[in-house]
């Protein structure tokens, strides 16, 4: 089998990768909704994969993996990897999880990072109401994640949250020492959320990037009695092109609160120090940033050897990304906690992707399906109406 074409269309806001072959088998991959600008970057790889045998996924990946980087520059490589697995599974007549070593669980746990409701304001009461709504959501989430500190509207909403100048640029650009008042406000919001969730639903907190080591330690110690699931990305994180394992190690060793990072990190080599130094308790790579689902599996196995837990990221990965997460998470060892459940936005995504269960999530779990490849497909007739003029030939 040979790869005959690589196409990319922005459907809604998600760049969708389509790889075609000389045997008529087609594979899909999807990049997260915040990265519509990556379409030309996907197409950049076309000459490097044309003519390759897509069922030898690793061999094709060896040609493009080095030409990528930390978020967002690993996404195109990752989505191509997923489309290759989709083809390899369809060609073999097997679900992708079988090709990755087989499933170790029949249903995979998810956590909430994408089912969101508007916040009234930044007060502790508003945080409590907000997680209460998520708790009542029909998915029955057993873990709910919320943003606080620099990973939220707090720097703008709370006057004098920190000692820095407020940055207006996107992608969580604020960084600096928190004020005493700021720290107290964050802790009050966490207490309020735990008050609503009790011990029935786990609370995870996305906190940065941008906190300094001393504040990270203070926050982690302050919330120790509340048994939060993890504190995520306090120091580095989303769109930060480095890891800082030594700084994370200082934080992790000073507290019993689990410390988490990793969503922006590309490739196993960049997880090596973090894992070998046991610098965090939980890692959370995104399959569409780390380099693909096989890379995610390898890193999970290596983390397990070092007593580190795995909770993959996936907020914006859409419904094709959801399928890839289900396939790989079915195969992960027992250090797996849950993956961050992505939703389809706009709502019509649920009309153009076929093969997903209905309802998708029951009691915070998704049952693993058995159809070949990723086990979901794009309904070409239904999807065509959402193609831009520029992408009109996407399915041809
Ligand atoms: Mg995060």
Rg (CA), the chain: 21
Give me the pLDDT at residue 166, please: 94
Residue 127 Cα to ligand 1 midpoint, Å, equals: 18
Give me the pLDDT at residue 168, please: 84
Check if the beta carbon of residue 318 is closer than 8 Å to that of residue 349: yes
Per residue in 93-114, pLDDT (tens digit) is: 999 999 999 999 999 999 999 9
Q: Give me the architecture of the 98-373 domain, per CATH.
A: Alpha-Beta Barrel (3.20)
Residue 353 Cα to ligand 1 midpoint, Å, equals: 26
Residue 88 Cα to ligand 1 midpoint, Å, equals: 31
Residue 394 Cα to ligand 1 midpoint, Å, equals: 32
- Which residue, 226, 341, 233, is CA-closest to 284? 233
Residue 209 Cα to ligand 1 midpoint, Å, equals: 9
Residue 390 Cα to ligand 1 midpoint, Å, equals: 33
Q: Alpha-carbon distance 219 to 223, whole Å?
A: 6
The 10 Å CB-count burial string (b at 16+, else e) for 155-177 is: beebeebbeeeeeeeeebebbbe
Give me the pLDDT at residue 153, please: 92
Residue 160 Cα to ligand 1 midpoint, Å, equals: 24
pTM exceeds cut of 0.95:
yes
Per residue in 145-185, pLDDT (tens digit) is: 999 999 999 999 999 999 999 998 888 899 999 999 999 99
Give me the pLDDT at residue 171, please: 85
CATH topology for the 3-94+378-391 domain:
Enolase-like; domain 1 (3.30.390)
Residue 298 Cα to ligand 1 midpoint, Å, equals: 21
Q: Phi, psi at residue 91, to the nearest 5°? A: -65, -35
Residue 152 Cα to ligand 1 midpoint, Å, equals: 11
Residue 264 Cα to ligand 1 midpoint, Å, equals: 9
User: Taking the domains of the chain in order of start, what are their residue ranges?
Assistant: 3-94+378-391, 98-373
Give me the pLDDT at residue 350, please: 98
Residue 314 Cα to ligand 1 midpoint, Å, equals: 9
Residue 385 Cα to ligand 1 midpoint, Å, equals: 33
pLDDT < 50 stretches in the chain: none
Residue 2 Cα to ligand 1 midpoint, Å, equals: 37
Residue 106 Cα to ligand 1 midpoint, Å, equals: 26
Residue 187 Cα to ligand 1 midpoint, Å, equals: 19
Give me the pLDDT at residue 169, please: 83
Count CA atoms within 13 Å of residue 297 on its CB side. Answer: 21
Q: Alpha-carbon distance 240 to 242, whole Å?
A: 6
Residue 116 Cα to ligand 1 midpoint, Å, equals: 14
Helix orientation angle between 75-92 and 318-329, rounded to the nearest 10 degrees: 70
């Amino acid at each position: 089998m040979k790869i005959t074409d690589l196409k990319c269309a922005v459907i809604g806001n998600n760049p969708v990768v389509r790889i075609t072959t000389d045997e008529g088998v087609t594979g899909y991959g999807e990049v997260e909704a915040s990265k519509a600008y990556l379409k030309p970057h996907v197409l950049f790889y076309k000459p490097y994969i044309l003519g390759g045998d897509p069922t030898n996924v690793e061999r094709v990946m060896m040609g493009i993996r080095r030409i990528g980087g930390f978020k967002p520059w690993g996404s195109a490589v990752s989505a191509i990897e997923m489309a290759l697995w989709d083809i390899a599974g369809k060609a073999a007549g097997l679900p992708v999880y079988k090709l990755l070593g087989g499933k170790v669980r029949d249903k995979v746990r998810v956590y909430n990072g994408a089912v969101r409701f508007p916040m009234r304001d930044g007060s502790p009461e508003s945080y409590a109401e907000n997680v209460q709504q998520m708790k009542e959501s029909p998915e029955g989430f057993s873990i709910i994640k919320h943003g606080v500190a620099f990973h939220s509207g707090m720097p703008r909403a709370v006057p004098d949250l920190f000692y820095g100048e407020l940055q207006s640029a996107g992608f969580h650009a604020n960084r600096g020492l928190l004020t005493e008042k700021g720290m107290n406000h964050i802790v009050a919001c966490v207490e309020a959320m735990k008050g609503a969730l009790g011990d029935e639903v786990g609370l995870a907190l996305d906190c940065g990037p941008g906190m300094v080591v001393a504040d990270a330690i203070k926050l982690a110690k302050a919330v120790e009695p509340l048994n939060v699931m993890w504190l995520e990305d306090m120091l580095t994180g989303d769109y930060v092109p480095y890891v800082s394992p030594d700084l994370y190690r200082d934080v992790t060793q000073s507290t019993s609160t689990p410390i988490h990072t990793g969503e922006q990190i590309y490739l196993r080599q960049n997880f090596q120090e973090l894992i070998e130094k046991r610098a965090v308790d939980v890692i959370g790579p995104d399959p569409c940033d780390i380099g693909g689902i096989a890379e995610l599996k390898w890193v999970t196995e290596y983390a397990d050897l070092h007593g580190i837990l795995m909770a993959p990221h996936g907020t914006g990965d859409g419904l094709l990304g959801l399928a890839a997460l289900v396939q790989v998470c079915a195969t992960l060892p027992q250090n797996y906690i849950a993956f961050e459940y992505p939703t389809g936005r706009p709502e019509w995504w649920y009309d153009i992707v076929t093969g997903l269960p209905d309802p998708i999530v029951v009691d915070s779990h998704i049952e693993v399906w058995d159809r070949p490849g990723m086990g979901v497909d794009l309904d070409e007739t239904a999807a065509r109406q959402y193609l831009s003029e520029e992408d009109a030939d996407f399915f041809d």
